Amino acid sequence: MSALTVGIIYKHRHKPARSEAIKLEGWFREKGINVFLEEMDAKEPLYECQEEASAIPKTVDWVVVLGGDGTLLGAARRVGRYGAPLLGVNLGGLGFLTGIPIDRLYPVIEMMIDGRLEVESRVMLETKVFRNDNEVCRFRVLNDVVINKRTLARIIDLEVTLNNEFLTTFRADGLIISTPTGSTAYNLSAGGPILYPTMETLILTPICPFTLTNRPIIIPDTSVVDIQMGKESEETVVLTFDGQVGFDLYFGDRVVICKSEEKIKLLKPPDHSHFKILRTKLMWGGATFNKHADH
């Protein structure tokens, strides 16, 4: 039987994360588990459409992520999309994706090794950009794909087609295409709905639409979203992946977005509650007035 292997990805230039990663590496090795350690890069390949490579093999049994939600998003694109379950550990406050506090790290790790953690699958998006009928970009994300301008002086026209059927032309500052996982990210700030993260849907949310009747739309995750600029923009339009990686768009480009065949697997302990995280992060209600508040 081959030895168990684990990857540890930790936040860049964050001394507590590095220190904890080295300590955890030694702990795993004492248990006979092979460890691959990787520090998240200082900069994502911004404005370069290339999926990040990782020093961690695709075949590891688990990946422990030490940092915040941004670190986990990067880890998902690098390694998680190959099927390795991710355990997100937050070194600061509570995160939507990194919901395990650092003081519970080792008890939860023990549960992970014993196979006592629930595995939750999350939908990813795959985006392709076609220029003169040639594919010039392909990228996968866990949270969202955003089309917007680098400046906010003018609106842009975005013609949207779903499964070859014309939907509408959004006249707005931009458009967010979000997974349920990403519903609590930029989508929420733009007035979009919060979805339970394992739902099989996608969200289209216009950013500051010119027409006030343009509202967020929830669509099946089987949909293929085709987007083109309706008018030539005088300013640079940018396609952004998970808020971390970008690609410049030009008039005539086609952006095609659909559910990726690959899914992300997140590990969570038995007492993990998505609704508790929502209450905490979004400061819903208070213990004095809410009879369901956590005591």
Closest CA relative to residue 101, chosen from 63, 66, 72: 66
Closest CA relative to residue 157, chosen from 179, 173, 140: 173
Report the 3 state secondary structure along 184-218: HCHHHHCCCCCCCCCCCEEEEEEECCCCCCCCCEE
Active-site pick, 69, 144, 242, 253:
69
- Give 6's strand partners: 35, 62
69 is a catalytic site residue? yes
E-state strands within 71-133: 86-90, 100-101, 118-131
Tell me the two tokens of residue 141.
């994300």
Q: Number of H helices and number of E strands within the chain? A: 5, 17
Residues with a known catalytic role:
69
